[in-house]
Amino acid sequence: MTSPLAAAAALLAQRGPLYLDDIAVGDRYASGEHAMDEAQIKDFAAQFDPQPFHLDDAAGRSTLFGGLAASGWHTAAITMRLQVTTGLPIAGGIIGAGAEISWPRPTRASDVLHVVSEVLDIQPSKSKPDRGMVTVRSETRNQHGEVLQLSTVRIVVPRRPGATAEASNAGAAS
Residues that bind its own copies (CB under 8 A): 4-5, 7-9, 11-12, 42, 44-53, 55-56, 59, 63-65, 71-73, 76-78, 80-81, 84-85, 92-103, 156
Number of Cβ within 10 Å of residue 117's Cβ equals 22
Question: Minimum distance from CB of 62 to its own copies (Å)?
Answer: 9
Q: What is the DSSP string of 73-96?
A: HHHHHHHHHHIIIII--BTT--EE
Give residue 140's Cα distance to chain centre.
9
Nearer to its own copies, 88 or 167 (CB): 88
Nearer CB in complex with its own copies: 9/30: 9
Which residue in 97, 47, 38 sits closest to 73, CA to CA?
A: 47
Q: Is the CB of 47 or the CB of 174 nearer to its own copies?
A: 47
d(CA 16, CA 99): 25
Question: What minimum distance in Å lies between the beta carbon of 80 and its own copies?
Answer: 5
